[in-house]
């Protein structure tokens, strides 16, 4: 029942939080004249900024998270930007994270010749109670915007880890992003984004209260109640 409920929740809420799509290369490379871009209904993709230097701490935001949700989560000013640090803080009030499903993934790759490729994997509804993963593969134009590269249905729908790895291994991976949706045993809902293994965004809602923290990997990162 929890899995089914989370599926509907994911379907209804995905579009409002999706990060920009990014590009990669497939078994069928794009031709020189390929100029196809994203559908006009999709958000305009932009390069993802990569923070430089040491990352800020999650610790200073833990009090804001507790105040917004009106819970007494544990505080640790030295807590790093990790899911484990978040879990250590809130599990006494929210319980265990019983569902934690991938929503989308982005991978940026630079080929040996300097060309850029981007992979995006999204969860796609396949029926009322089923879903699968869809792989999108892109090149990059002169403005650093994604240009779709063709994949067959067999390659793009529920791609094997081996096939995804073969695309990533064509060059140097410069960015990994993953968004996940979770459900705690006491009913709280979580949306989180990790960039290169560290939290960059999170949103928690519980008993009609909510908190959203953005740009956590930058010193300007902040949380707000809703």
Q: For residue 113, what are the contacts with CB-CB under 8 A and spacing of at least 6?
A: none
Whether 158 has a pLDDT exceeding 50, the answer reads: yes
Angle between helix 83-94 and 59-69 (nearest 10):
30
pLDDT given for residue 49 in this prediction: 54
pLDDT given for residue 211 in this prediction: 98
Whether 92 has a pLDDT exceeding 50, the answer reads: yes
Q: What is the mean pLDDT of residues 127-151?
A: 93
| Distance (Å) of CA 105 to CA 71, 78, 171 | 31, 28, 18
Whether 168 has a pLDDT exceeding 50, the answer reads: yes
Report residue 125's pLDDT band, with 50, 70 and 90 as the boundaries.
Answer: confident
Helix spans in 18-148 (H): 59-69, 83-94
pLDDT given for residue 19 in this prediction: 41
Average pLDDT, the chain: 83
| Contact between 223 and 61 (Cβ < 8 Å) | yes
| Contact between 175 and 106 (Cβ < 8 Å) | yes
pLDDT given for residue 6 in this prediction: 46
Closest by CA to 137, choosing from 151, 157, 123, 126, is 151
Whether 205 has a pLDDT exceeding 50, the answer reads: yes
pLDDT exceeding 90 applies to what percent of the chain? 73
Report residue 68's pLDDT band, with 50, 70 and 90 as the boundaries.
Answer: very high
What pLDDT digit, counting tens, does each position of 12-65 carry?
Answer: 444 444 444 444 433 433 333 333 333 333 333 444 555 567 899 999 999 999
Q: For residue 205, what are the contacts with CB-CB under 8 A and spacing of at least 6?
A: 188, 189, 211
| Contact between 139 and 119 (Cβ < 8 Å) | no
Q: Specify the higher pLDDT residue, 11 or 196.
A: 196
Closest by CA to 44, choosing from 121, 150, 133, 144, is 144
Report residue 96's pLDDT band, with 50, 70 and 90 as the boundaries.
Answer: very high
Q: What is the mean pLDDT of residues 101-128?
A: 94
- Chain-centre distance for alpha carbon 149: 21
pLDDT given for residue 14 in this prediction: 45
pTM passes above 0.85: no
The Cα 117–Cα 139 span in angstroms is 5
Report residue 99's pLDDT band, with 50, 70 and 90 as the boundaries.
Answer: very high
């Amino acid at each position: 029942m929890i899995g089914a409920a989370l599926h509907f929740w994911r379907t209804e809420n995905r579009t409002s939080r999706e990060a920009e799509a990014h590009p990669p290369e497939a078994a069928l490379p794009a031709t020189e004249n390929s100029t196809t871009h994203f559908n006009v209904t999709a958000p305009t993709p932009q390069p993802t900024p990569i923070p430089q230097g040491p990352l800020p701490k999650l610790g200073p935001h833990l009090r804001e998270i507790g105040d917004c949700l009106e819970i007494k989560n544990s505080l640790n000013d030295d807590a790093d930007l990790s899911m484990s640090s978040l879990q250590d803080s809130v599990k006494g009030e929210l319980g265990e994270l019983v569902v934690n499903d991938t929503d989308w993934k982005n991978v940026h790759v630079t080929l040996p010749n300097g060309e850029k490729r981007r992979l995006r994997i999204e969860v796609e509804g396949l029926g009322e109670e089923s879903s699968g993963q869809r792989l999108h593969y892109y090149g990059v134009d002169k403005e650093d915007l994604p240009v779709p590269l063709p994949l067959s249905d067999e390659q793009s729908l529920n791609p094997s880890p081996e096939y995804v790895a073969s695309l990533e291994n064509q060059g140097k991976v410069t960015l990994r992003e993953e968004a996940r949706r979770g459900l705690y045993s006491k009913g709280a809902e979580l949306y989180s984004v990790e960039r290169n293994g560290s939290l960059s965004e999170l949103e928690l809602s519980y008993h009609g209260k909510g908190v959203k923290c953005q740009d956590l990997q930058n010193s300007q990162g902040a949380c707000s109640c809703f």
